Structure 1
Amino acid sequence: MGSFFNILQTAHRNAQKSILKRKYTEPVLYHGGPTFNLKARWYLYYKYEHPTLKDKHGNPLMVRQPNITMSINRYYKTKAERLQQFGVVKEVLSEMLKEGCSPYQERLNLGSKSMEYTSEAALDYAYSLKVAGLSETSIPDYRSRLNRFKKYLGTKNLLKKSILGISKQTVNEYLNEIAKASSARNRNNTRIVLSSLFGELEHNEIIPKNFVEDIKVSDTNSIRYQTYPLEVLEGLFEYMKENDPLLLLFIKFVSYNFLRPIEVCRLKVKDVSLTHKQIYFKAKNKLLKTKIIPDIVIKEIKHLDFSIQNNFLFTPNGVGPWDTKETYRRGYFTDRFKKLKEKYNKHLVEKGETLQLGGEYTIYSFRHTFITLLFRKFRKEYAYTETCDRLMLITGHSTLDALKSYLKDIDAELPEDYSGLLTLDI
């Protein structure tokens, strides 16, 4: 009996030593939680000792490996089937790991195609995938926010370590620092960029889940662009007609075609068809959209030089070439209007008027103003739903819900005088 237990103790000690030397953790099955949720994505996960990365103590870093699904979720729809299939895969994987198979053996021979990424390499890879679908205005914003995040990771000693070392808490703490240093809006915009990048990493199975999308959006004080009173609008248009007719034409594209300023800046001669009275432009959420050009605008542009197709419709001097980024083109006209507004305010003072146009009155405000004007004229003749249907064709909103939300934000519809309802019958 003593000999038997001596052998057992020796075997136990050897087994413990083997566990201590083990370069991996036993595979674990995630099965959708306590309820075995079949709508969730089931997978096997485990960690393996990285051949080069070290922790802060200099020990080999245990890195979580890509989730293993083997398409089982797609083909097996019951709890029993999935448990059986994942059980088989788990058993085979455990045996392979015991026999010394390493998930890095193949990867180390792949060089630049390695599936294991440091935080820096993974984020740069995600950006390289994302940048192809970004607009010219979004690329600098993404690059800037990514670089600042990478700098932050560097201060936390996470940049050169596995991307799996970045947690939801890491990103949350970074976003909170942004909110404290600047604003909730800046924090939310950074969250959007990081969520987009981590989404690419999840899609390419570099990380198991894009946890950034689960981080709450902070409440912000929305920027409110004030609509122009009609009596102010008439005087302002007259002032621009005398002092800056080119800027007035730019604003008429915003006002009468309901374009955003950046969309007007993108317009080239080839995007305008006087024959069909149409313009073709890149919008906010679509590659290309078409709108009619109302006669009120046709009369303003039919005398322009349309001979060179690649000329921009708006430059500092009118139709012509302009070799600069669209964000700078938009910024130019924004600044040009700001300067004109300052002169107009002085003009109002000289006339003895007290009204002053502050920062809430922008070029974008003209779009709000004329959509409101059009909505209220339609409402005199049509029901709310029909009004929205007709207006949607003109404004270019992609969905009816988007238009209704927009109309609510700009207070397009106001109630009639309700004084009669407030009288007290005493």
Structure 2
Amino acid sequence: MSKITKVVRNAYDNAYDLSNKKKYSIPKIYNASGDITKRWYVYFSFRNPQTGKMERQPSIDTGVMRYKTLSGRNKAIKMLRDTVEDILKNGFNPYEETELIDEVKKYSTVEAIDFVLELTKSKFSASHYSDFNSRLQQFKKWLIKNGWEFRHITSVNRIAIAKYLNEVMKATSATNRNNTRIALSSFYSNLVNNNIVEANLVSDIPVEKAKAKRNKTFNSSQEEAIEEKVVAYPVLGLFIKFISYNFLRPVEVCRITIGDIDLKQKRVTLQTKTGIKTKIIPDILFEELPDMKGLPSDMLLFNRDKLCGYWPAKEENRRQYYSDLFFEVKTALGLSKDYTIYSFRHTFITKLYREFRKELTPFEAESHLMLITGHASHDALKKYLRDIDAELPEDYSERIKKALSSSKQ
């Protein structure tokens, strides 16, 4: 027999032996004899293709240790063992794969939510993340309450999500249900992007028709009354003028730091609802700014009860502080709940649009206004203007009289 024939036969025999031997051992659980203060894990061995011998692989405890009850730990470790076994059955080979087995694991519902919350913490703004976190935590509580805690996220189906959204709507409102739907859709998009689930189950769940909440615009007499009352709240007065003259949202005003303001160019650059924007500061507002020369760039323009200072509160809490101040003013004036500090934005956009319309066509007026308000498109601005009734028709009494006269003939 030639040497090459012997080599080929030996190689074939070795390959035949390996192919007929089990590639891995059934994953087992180490539970520290039920002691939940110690590390629990799943372990298994896999046959080394070079030596042909079974070799112990690194133990896996992904997500198990955070369960602090014996019942919870037992359920979690069993699910982890089953997950590891499924992955091995599906062809995972630690000697060929570039990913570790705990990186391709199946996530439980709770683990999936925690994963996405951690992933998005640095991606979202503080206010966005706070709302997103709150809605996912509520979803997590519902999943746990309904027996989904130790089930894979892939086992949650569209029917379950729709049921949860219906419960949210019954308990609160259609608007809150729709906002929760947006949060869950974002959650599933992140799972899809990280290969944890195959599809976004929420994207094709329809939006419910909801009664829109509208902040009314002020009339001239209300504005005058407010102006008189706000004299006792000088910082609130400037806060309102940033909303009125710069058309910023209240939370955006709260974000302004000294470094955001370019005193030479009379501009402010800040994070808005649609991204980072640079806006001019009109002279009518610029003239009322305090002296900021030499102040640290990270200092807030609007502090608690005063201008320019450090305020460690969250931006949402800072926004609420100024909303509460205005609530005192409007309550004293007997204004209804339909009027909020946000109403100033609607009021002054309406005023400016009507002023432009005295000389310009609707399209020209919208084009000028877009540069000021920051709306992304004509369609977005037109919808906004319709919602706040920025343009009203002239008195059409004569038309009605003519129509009545014609019908009698």
Deviation at 1:126, TM superposition (A): 2.4
Partners of 1:379 and 1:302 lie apart in 2 by 34
Partners of 2:199 and 2:174 lie apart in 1 by 25
Q: Does 1:264 align with 2:250?
A: no
Cross-structure match for 1:406 = 384
Any gaps of 5 or more consecutive residues in structure 1?
A: 1-52, 67-99, 346-355
Deviation at 1:132, TM superposition (A): 2.5
Equivalent runs, 1:169-188 vs 2, <5 Å: 169-188=159-178
User: Is the 1:188–1:218 contact (alpha carbons within 8 Å) kept by the matching residues of 2?
Assistant: yes
Equivalent runs, 1:74-113 vs 2, <5 Å: 102-104=90-92, 106=94, 110-113=100-103
Runs of at least 4 residues of structure 1 off by over 6 A?
Answer: 60-63
Any gaps of 5 or more consecutive residues in structure 2?
A: 1-73
Equivalent runs, 1:143-292 vs 2, <5 Å: 143-241=133-231, 243-286=232-275, 288-292=276-280
Aligned-partner SS, 2:307: coil
Partners of 2:290 and 2:281 lie apart in 1 by 11
Amino acid at match of 1:238: E
Partners of 2:137 and 2:98 lie apart in 1 by 28
Partners of 2:400 and 2:294 lie apart in 1 by 60
Aligned-partner SS, 1:208: coil
Partners of 2:292 and 2:114 lie apart in 1 by 45
Deviates more, 1:207-216 or 1:100-109: 100-109
Sequence identity (%): 42
Cross-structure match for 1:390 = 368
Partners of 2:307 and 2:354 lie apart in 1 by 34
Closer, same or farther: CA 143–402 of 1 in aligned 2, 3 Å:
same
Aligned-partner SS, 2:301: coil
Q: Structure 1, residues 214-262: CA drift from partner, whole Å, max 9, x if none?
A: 1111111111100000222123113212x11111110000000000000
Partners of 1:152 and 1:306 lie apart in 2 by 52
How many residues are aligned here? 326
Partners of 1:217 and 1:375 lie apart in 2 by 31
Q: Does 1:314 align with 2:282?
A: no
Cross-structure match for 2:349 = 371
Q: Does 1:297 align with 2:260?
A: no
Deviation at 1:304, TM superposition (A): 5.1
User: Is the 1:130–1:197 contact (alpha carbons within 8 Å) kept by the matching residues of 2?
Assistant: no
| TM-score normalised to structure 2 length | 0.74
Partners of 2:278 and 2:124 lie apart in 1 by 21
User: Is the 1:270–1:309 contact (alpha carbons within 8 Å) kept by the matching residues of 2?
Assistant: yes
Aligned-partner SS, 2:224: helix
Deviation at 1:302, TM superposition (A): 4.7
Q: Structure 1, residues 52-73: CA drift from partner, whole Å, max 9, x if none?
A: x99xxx9x9899x99xxxxxxx
Amino acid at match of 2:103: K
User: Is the 1:269–1:313 contact (alpha carbons within 8 Å) kept by the matching residues of 2?
Assistant: yes
User: Is the 2:257–2:300 contact (alpha carbons within 8 Å) kept by the matching residues of 1?
Assistant: yes
Q: Structure 1, residues 8-27: CA drift from partner, whole Å, max 9, x if none?
A: xxxxxxxxxxxxxxxxxxxx
Partners of 2:344 and 2:207 lie apart in 1 by 29
Closer, same or farther: CA 215–376 of 1 in aligned 2, 3 Å:
same
RMSD between aligned alpha carbons? 2.7
